[in-house]
Amino acid sequence: MTGAAEADLPAREAAGLRKLKPDRPRIAVGLATCGAAMGGDRVYRRFQEIIGAGGDDIMLTKTGCIGYCREEPQVNITIPGRPLVILHRVDADDVEEIVTAVRAGEVPYEMALCRVPSWDHVTGTTVEYGGGFDRIPLYQDVRFFSHQKKVVLRNAGFINPEDIDEYIAVGGYAAAKTALTEMEPDAVVAEVERSGLRGRGGAGFPTGLKWRITRKAPGDEKYIICNADEGDPGAYMNRNEMESDPHMLIEGMIIGAYAIGAREGLIYLRAEYPLAIRRLELAIAQARTCGLLGERIFGTGFDFEIRIVTGAGAFVCGESTALIASIEGRTGRPHPRPPRLTDIGGGLWKKPTDLNNVETWCNVPVIIQNGGDWYARIGTEKNTGTKVFSLVGKVDRVGLVEVPLGTSLNTIVFDIGNGGSQGKKVKAVQTGGPSGGCIPVRLFDTPVDYENLNRVGSIMGSGGIVVMDEETNMVDIARYFVNFATGESCGKCVPCREGLKHTLLLLNKIMAGKGTEKDLDTLGLLADTIQKTSLCGLGQLAPNPVLTTLAYFREEYGALVKK
């Protein structure tokens, strides 16, 4: 396939704009996993019944998740000359009323969450106010959104993730075209380095530096991999990014492959994400049909393909060497480094390989489009850009939150999340999934970045934030996460395999009221030993819940042990 003849972005952009700004009302139902789980599918089918019976005066489509998962199912309404309005908690029984209002040029105002008068990704939008529209809160005035800055999630919940034209209409693939036709690969790498982007999978390694190392590695055959094996309990950032804006990931990988010199990319995606798999497969097929994947992309000499590899859901396969082993058909177990993935002998099929997670790749098009300096102004000097978090647990406003790095836990949990659910007091959060630490509320002024979270005994991880309230037993929380890590250990190294098993036995003993003060000392010693001697990150980080709960909630352990 020759991409040059088919990658007609202006025509695709025009087609997409006709869908995003039609000459008739547009209704878009949020159908990511969260929306569907809350009844969005029933809402969509009811719209089909009502609108189908009344003619073609309304465009019906679907969209992804805007992040405010507590308020699903959500429905976006765009009436020509009016602001985009987001309705929330819509039921199938509400559909007839909504359609009646839309046909009259109105919306059911009591269902409105907010209005978005100028969605800045669709240029030239002009709106008129008046009537009930003035009573609908502005998007930026809704507290859940007011502290956020949407970079990665900029399109989520607004475009149809199954339509490449709509992605192109909001600027999609323009960055890839710029990179491939106007920039040398070294210049692309330099722009990513200038941005300060660090890997969003947890370790925080500088992305541009990793790209440069891989590019300079000897050999003509190189690979790039997207780690989409999101396995942390309560974490679903990557799932939504793939479900709501899959072309963003593909575009980031195209740019990265060009910069590094790879001709093939793989997305390692857990099989438990069926909707993400389906939408990514569709997006890859669309990109290929449009000449954006395959041979001579944008008429250049650059050829690139992407394929999906599904994993069985082993948590340890989030570790890079275990992930490589799984792709190659071997048991997903880590192995010591060097050689690193970026070296000959260390990567996929022993070829130099660059591996980044979903969110890292999704930042790349924005960096190329707006410049590394623009991106570096977001966040802090050492932690640039934004980070997407899943805010879950005992918090009032559950959902996906995207904020500049350096934003405090107080802002995320209380200003955005509105504190504890059902009026309960917040006691702590755990960041970074089962390998993260438990941070008490007295330390919520901590800026959320790599160094400061490490300072208080936790990690960034892929971005999960689990909130715990006053009724949470912190010893039981430590036991829960150690139980998870024990079950997910590959068993290859003794410190992780045996150490976590004995840690869990001690925690069970303490929770049963049979523990002693000596057991607490043993628990701390075990955790320290596992942390220092385990082979991979799973074992090295698994003791964090124990170490932080012992440090910050020692009195809860003391209340359970024999005196």
Multiple choice CATH, 386-469, 3.40.980.10, 3.50.50.100, 3.10.20.600, 3.10.520.10: 3.10.20.600
CATH architecture assigned to 172-374: 3-Layer(aba) Sandwich (3.40)
Structure confidence by residue, pLDDT tens digits, 165-216: 999 999 999 999 999 999 999 999 999 999 999 999 878 899 999 999 999 9
The ranges of the chain annotated as CATH 1.20.1440.230 are: 474-558
* Integer Cα distance of 207 and 356 in angstroms: 8
How many CB atoms lie under 10 A from the CB of residue 185? 18
* Integer Cα distance of 301 and 298 in angstroms: 9
- Do the bridges between strand 112-116 and strand 59-63 make them parallel or antiparallel, or are there none, so unpaired? unpaired
How many CB atoms lie under 10 A from the CB of residue 219? 12
* Rounded (5°) CA angle 66-441-507: 100
What does the buried/exposed string (b/e) look like for 48-71 if buried means 16 or more CB atoms within 10 Å of the residue's CB? eebbeeeeeebbbbbbbbbbbbbb
* Integer Cα distance of 473 and 475 in angstroms: 6
Closest CA to 31 of 308, 271, 287, 240: 240
The ranges of the chain annotated as CATH 3.40.30.10 are: 19-142
For domain 19-142, say whether CATH 1.10.10.10 is its number. no
CA 458 to chain centre: 19
CATH architecture assigned to 474-558: Up-down Bundle (1.20)
* Helix, strand or coil, per DSSP, at residue 401: strand
Per-residue confidence (pLDDT) for residue 131, from 0 to 100: 66
Give all strands (DSSP E) within 414-463, no chain letters: 426-431, 438-440
How many CB atoms lie under 10 A from the CB of residue 389? 26
Per-residue confidence (pLDDT) for residue 133, from 0 to 100: 85
* Helix, strand or coil, per DSSP, at residue 119: coil
The ranges of the chain annotated as CATH 3.40.50.11540 are: 172-374
Per-residue CA distances from 211 to 206, 248, 364 (Å): 9, 19, 12
Per-residue confidence (pLDDT) for residue 391, from 0 to 100: 97
Per-residue confidence (pLDDT) for residue 4, from 0 to 100: 41
How many CB atoms lie under 10 A from the CB of residue 110? 10
* Integer Cα distance of 148 and 157 in angstroms: 15
By CB atoms closer than 10 A (0-12, 13-18, 19+), residue 113 is buried
Per-residue confidence (pLDDT) for residue 128, from 0 to 100: 54
**361 close to 434: Cβ distance less than 8 angstroms:** no
H/E stretch holding 59 reads strand 59-63
* Rounded (5°) CA angle 284-20-68: 80
List average pLDDT for each run of 10 residues in the chain, which is 563 residues long.
60 94 94 96 96 82 96 95 93 97 94 81 50 86 95 96 97 97 98 97 91 96 96 89 98 98 97 96 97 96 97 87 94 89 92 97 98 98 97 97 98 98 96 92 97 94 93 96 93 94 97 95 95 92 95 96 81
